[in-house]
A and B are shown apart, each in its own frame.
Chain A
């Protein structure tokens, strides 16, 4: 396993919000999905995932709920709140601007 790229500062929030925007997901699955969707490029550090989740919850963007998983074990599932959906839109927009700006600099047409 190659050393994963460090996540760009501030993009973790965006990745989390996007990942849980479809359905409620628990912490382990969030990490796994980010890793899978990025083709094993983005590896989320567990040490930063949970503080990030708690911070987002405290900001009122995500909500949590404890319920049983498929295996029957009870886990904490996160989902987007209304404010969270707005925030996701804002962060997506920011990301688009940032990535196209970076592209303009590194690959001028």
Chain B
């Protein structure tokens, strides 16, 4: 209420002033009239009335003061004054505002990203009740048994990604689907926006040909047809009934999932149900249950599940299972990267603030005269400080506004920085929580710009203290820049290691693609083989194609199968976990095309057919591990579920097919099979990768011409696959380098500014010293000593902090330790060197001035 009155007073200032004059005039008139009645002449009455009233001007002033609008009026005066003085020194204003904008912009963008991906609640009701298993059991059998037995948690199972061919209006395309148990929608508490979700009966084979579409698929492929429910669509040549359409926000298991199908559970299909581990659990805690109660239940429960396997499972399988929150598990992978980037932009913001702070200090010293004058005219200290704070705030507001624009630009670029499968990325892009990030960044900046001037005693008084203060600021800035530089150096070194990592696959110019067909093309292994031969024949006509090979998966794809295996000479107890071999099926020319050498024995050839002896090739390190100092040729291996042994016929040079950084520790060895003898030719929906040495790119149309229903996807060269497999490290390294360079530039600019300023202040002192016989070199050294001490103190203090902080980079670095000596010595060295150079320019300039001139000043 009072504020409202005050605001009213502020806006009606002129009107109120008129009213006041009028009111006082009326009073005087009345007084005069009374006096005239008492016998005064009009002239005398006028004078007497004035005398009786007293000083009118000060009464008027006092009345005005009562309106309490002084602060607001001062504020608007200060604002006008600040804007005018900013316009008068455009270089200063531009540098200060841009620096702040950079810091605030970067920080806003990455704070919002970190919040949106790491901390924002998942878009399901009560998302904290959703749990998953870490080191648990997977597979349809184990998960549905858990679903039946658990009393604390309602478990759901899902296949995270499954490629299907959709044949719609004469065109074949690949869809990314997920098969789930019927209760997924119920557990995630999300209902279809159209139609309904599956029922339990849809898990029965025969009733399972129903599908629920994603909003995206419904809009792009079916024109958002409102009558889609009940329609039949063709998936892998089979008719499926559309049951419903999910809302756009539903992005489980991934934002790319386009279709959900029920999992058909046929208890007679024991191998598929218990042997295929590609079926993951997620669950919702039942009412009145917590993570702790779910945890206390899970291990005994998994013991029961282990004993219900149709074959003996290792005792350790699932023995260390823990129930974890789903949201935490989801972001585990991206968390370090996001925290590192958000942290880096925060440091950048601090450096930017430090720099602008120093600019302000320097300007404050120049304005000493202005402040002294105003103080002499009666301005109180508080009043002057208030003006300075207003000025700072205006700078922050201008910088913040420009910063928001930068943040929006950065946000547009986010998809380039994060891989497409980053959890929650799409959700973030469609609903950026920018205001939150902006508020956080602005709060930090405003806090710094209001407390630091107070701490620094902001140059209202003698500048000796302020000058020391700016040296300290410089030290802190350089320390922060060092941290950034160390981070960038660690990631840069990692990237260098990755780029030069020998994957054992020298070929880069080989084109790969995923080829998929439906069951009618490939009803049995013989017809599959015939189809492959025919595809090969079709392409071989093209003179631009030098070689054609087939494999189950292109290199650097970690999503492909590994097989629990028995290995000759290395028996295992049934209670122990089996060896796991990485399995690649390939045609004979595979090794040659990829540049993998055969070190012993032979490669596959055309005599290796489905009915001939089962053979395999193992990698060099697998041979060394299992048969050191022995000839592995002739030894045998087999999958645990298959009684037929495969004979080793050759040893191939090591190749990192899993990812260029090698294989994970749970893989014990690498084996190759002839494609003719692999299970990949007996799958109903043929899905293989083609490897082509070709100089033209129109081969897909040649294949399409002959087989219109074939789906060709993921066309890329091996070089591109290799590059994209290190995309995450590359983008982190690039961003950190960018931030570090910005930090370095800001830091160095800060050093230059402060030293130049200090040198300018000390010209008189230097003049005296020179007149007394000091040599220029001594003076330069004197000025440089300060910078050197500030930068060395700053950088060395921070090495300890960086040493501790670098563990957050642990999951991102490769080929170096997180305490990489190179990064930890080079970065501080670069900074101290750069700072010293930056300081030496003004230092040398200062000694060039004529002592006689400087002494004569003032």
**Minimum distance in angstroms from B363 CB to a CB of chain A:** 38
Stretch from B50-58, B413-421, B569-577 contacting the other chain: B50-58
Q: Are A27 and B23 in contact (CB under 8 A)?
A: yes
Which of A45, A55, A58 has the most chain B CB within a 10 Å cutoff? A58
Q: Identify A73's interface contact among B26, B31, B62, CB under 8 A.
A: B26
A1 to B63, CA, bound (A): 28
Stretch from A3-11, A46-54, A93-101 contacting the other chain: A46-54
B contact residues around A60 at 8 Å (CB): 1-2, 5
Q: Are B26 and A54 in contact (CB under 8 A)?
A: no
A76 to B25, CA, bound (A): 11
A46 to B28, CA, bound (A): 10
Minimal Cβ-Cβ distance residue in A for B2: A60
Q: Are B2 and A45 in contact (CB under 8 A)?
A: no
Which of A26, A45, A50 has the most chain B CB within a 10 Å cutoff? A50
B contact residues around A58 at 8 Å (CB): 2, 5-6, 9, 66-68
14 A-B interface contacts by CB (under 8 A): A28-B26, A45-B54, A46-B27, A47-B58, A47-B59, A47-B62, A50-B27, A50-B63, A51-B59, A54-B64, A57-B66, A60-B2, A66-B19, A76-B19
A contact residues around B66 at 8 Å (CB): 51, 54-55, 57-58
Q: Are A28 and B1 in contact (CB under 8 A)?
A: no
Q: Chain B 390-425 against A: per-residue CB contact (8 Å), 1 yes, 0 no?
A: 000000000000000000000000000000000000
A20 to B65, CA, bound (A): 23
Q: Are A75 and B26 in contact (CB under 8 A)?
A: yes
Given contacts A58-B66, A60-B2, contact A46 B26 (CB under 8 A): no
A59 to B66, CA, bound (A): 9
Main secondary structure of the interface of A (DSSP, over half): helix
B contact residues around A74 at 8 Å (CB): 22
**Minimum distance in angstroms from A48 CB to a CB of chain B:** 8
Q: Are A75 and B23 in contact (CB under 8 A)?
A: yes
User: Does B41 make an interface contact (CB < 8 A)?
Assistant: no
User: Does B29 make an interface contact (CB < 8 A)?
Assistant: yes
Q: Identify B23's interface contact among A45, A50, A55, CB under 8 A.
A: A50
A contact residues around B1 at 8 Å (CB): 60
Interface hits, A17-75 → B, CB 8 Å: 26-28, 45-47, 50-51, 53-55, 57-60, 66, 73-75
A contact residues around B816 at 8 Å (CB): none
A58 to B6, CA, bound (A): 7
A2 to B55, CA, bound (A): 22
Q: Are B59 and A46 in contact (CB under 8 A)?
A: yes
Nearest first, the 3 A-B pairs at minimum CB distance are A54-B66, A51-B62, A28-B30
Minimal Cβ-Cβ distance residue in B for A46: B53
Given contacts A51-B59, A58-B6, A58-B66, contact A46 B52 (CB under 8 A): yes
**Minimum distance in angstroms from B46 CB to a CB of chain A:** 15
Interface hits, B431-448 → A, CB 8 Å: none
Q: Identify B31's interface contact among A28, A45, A47, A55, CB under 8 A.
A: A28
Contacts from A to B (Cβ < 8 Å): 26-28, 45-47, 50-51, 53-55, 57-60, 66, 73-76
Which of B2, B9, B23, B55 has the most chain A CB within a 10 Å cutoff? B23
**Minimum distance in angstroms from B1 CB to a CB of chain A:** 6
Q: Identify A50's interface contact among B2, B9, B59, B67, CB under 8 A.
A: B59
**Minimum distance in angstroms from A18 CB to a CB of chain B:** 20
User: Does B24 make an interface contact (CB < 8 A)?
Assistant: yes
Q: Identify A54's interface contact among B27, B30, B67, CB under 8 A.
A: B67
A8 to B397, CA, bound (A): 50
A27 to B23, CA, bound (A): 8
A54 to B19, CA, bound (A): 12
**Minimum distance in angstroms from B660 CB to a CB of chain A:** 75
**Minimum distance in angstroms from B69 CB to a CB of chain A:** 9
Q: Are B54 and A76 in contact (CB under 8 A)?
A: no
A contact residues around B67 at 8 Å (CB): 54, 58
A60 to B5, CA, bound (A): 8
**Minimum distance in angstroms from A17 CB to a CB of chain B:** 16
Beyond A47-B54, A60-B5, 20 extra complex contacts between A and B, CB < 8 Å: A26-B23, A27-B23, A45-B54, A46-B52, A46-B53, A46-B54, A47-B53, A47-B58, A47-B62, A50-B23, A50-B63, A51-B59, A54-B67, A58-B2, A58-B6, A58-B67, A58-B68, A60-B2, A74-B22, A75-B26
Q: Are B29 and A76 in contact (CB under 8 A)?
A: no
Given contacts A45-B54, A47-B59, A54-B67, contact A59 B23 (CB under 8 A): no
Minimal Cβ-Cβ distance residue in A for B9: A58
Q: Chain B 320-335 against A: per-residue CB contact (8 Å), 1 yes, 0 no?
A: 0000000000000000
**Minimum distance in angstroms from A25 CB to a CB of chain B:** 12
A contact residues around B19 at 8 Å (CB): 66, 76
A16 to B59, CA, bound (A): 18
A23 to B29, CA, bound (A): 22
B contact residues around A59 at 8 Å (CB): 2
A26 to B31, CA, bound (A): 13
Given contacts A28-B30, A45-B54, A46-B52, contact A76 B22 (CB under 8 A): yes
A28 to B30, CA, bound (A): 7
Q: Identify B26's interface contact among A27, A47, A53, A57, CB under 8 A.
A: A27
Q: Are A27 and B27 in contact (CB under 8 A)?
A: yes
**Minimum distance in angstroms from B387 CB to a CB of chain A:** 25
**Minimum distance in angstroms from B252 CB to a CB of chain A:** 58
A47 to B26, CA, bound (A): 14
**Minimum distance in angstroms from A42 CB to a CB of chain B:** 16
B contact residues around A54 at 8 Å (CB): 20, 63-64, 66-67
B contact residues around A47 at 8 Å (CB): 53-55, 58-59, 62
**Minimum distance in angstroms from A36 CB to a CB of chain B:** 13
A109 to B492, CA, bound (A): 96
Which of B29, B52, B54, B59 has the most chain A CB within a 10 Å cutoff? B59
**Minimum distance in angstroms from B845 CB to a CB of chain A:** 58
Q: Are A76 and B26 in contact (CB under 8 A)?
A: yes
B contact residues around A57 at 8 Å (CB): 66
**Minimum distance in angstroms from A77 CB to a CB of chain B:** 10
B contact residues around A51 at 8 Å (CB): 59, 62-63, 65-66
A contact residues around B63 at 8 Å (CB): 50-51, 53-54
B contact residues around A73 at 8 Å (CB): 26, 29
A88 to B2, CA, bound (A): 18
A contact residues around B30 at 8 Å (CB): 28
A contact residues around B55 at 8 Å (CB): 47
